[in-house]
């Protein structure tokens, strides 16, 4: 049942952010493609696939280790500190941003890259203003200790 809820959430929310909105941005009337990246654009496919793998791995860990889903209203019951969560506190967001960055590069779309920056700003504020305070209250000292040793966005050791 948790797995089904994770799948539904994934299609609805990350699916909208990484598929529907980019599609709309790419194919709207004013969607110009000013970037000329040549063969470098294909590096976007690699970044995209890494992002998909990151998201799926994190969703799996939320579902089976945390006994919850990526949805804020159905969040994990246990603090997830395994897998990619050993290296950064927000790898699921890093995965989503990687998907968007990969799409922006592949489609040579400045508009998608700008959208990626907006999504990052939203994620940053969501984490700082909403998620971290809730996690501090929910998991207490264990979350505080986790924050001391694991960076928010970029791993400093692998």
- Per-residue DSSP letter, 87: T
Instruction: Provide DSSP, 117-132.
Output: HHHHHHHHHHIIIIIH
| Residue 96: pLDDT over 90 | yes
Average pLDDT over residues 129-148: 94
User: At 78, which helix (H) or strand (E)?
Assistant: none
Q: When comparing pLDDT for 74 and 132, which is higher?
A: 132
Mean pLDDT of the chain: 91
Residue-wise pLDDT for 12-69, tens only, equals 999 999 999 999 998 876 666 678 888 999 999 999 999 999 999 999 999 998 888 8
C-beta separation of 58 from 112 below 8 A:
no
Residues sharing a CB contact under 8 Å with residue 50, sequence separation 6 or more, in sequence order: 95, 98, 102
Supply the angle between the helices 91-106 and 110-126 in degrees, to the nearest 10. Answer: 170
Range in 63-67, 124-128, 147-151 with the lowest mean pLDDT: 63-67
Q: Can you say whether the dihedral through the CA atoms of 134, 135, 138, 143 is positive or negative?
A: negative
- CB burial of 119-133 (b: ≥16 within 10 Å; e: otherwise) equals bbeebeeebeeebbe
- Interatomic CA distance for residues 142 and 66, integer angstroms: 14
| Residue 74: pLDDT over 90 | no
- Say if residue 92 is exposed, middle or buried (CB neighbours under 10 Å; 0-12, 13-18, 19+): buried
């Amino acid at each position: 049942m948790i797995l089904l809820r994770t799948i539904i959430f994934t299609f609805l929310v990350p699916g909208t952010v990484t598929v529907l909105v980019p599609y709309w941005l790419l194919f709207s009337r004013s969607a110009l493609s000013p970037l000329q990246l040549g063969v470098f654009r294909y590096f976007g496919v690699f970044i995209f696939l890494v992002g998909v793998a990151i998201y799926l791995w994190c969703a799996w860990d939320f579902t089976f280790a945390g006994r919850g889903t990526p949805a804020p209203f159905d969040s994990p019951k246990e603090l997830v500190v395994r897998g990619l969560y050993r290296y950064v506190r927000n790898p699921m967001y890093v995965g989503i941003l990687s998907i968007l960055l990969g799409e922006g590069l592949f489609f040579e779309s400045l508009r998608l890259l700008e959208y990626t920056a907006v999504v990052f700003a939203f994620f940053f504020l969501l984490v700082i203003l909403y998620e971290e305070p809730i996690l501090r209250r929910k998991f207490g000292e264990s979350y505080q200790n986790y924050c001391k040793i694991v960076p928010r966005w970029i791993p400093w050791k692998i």
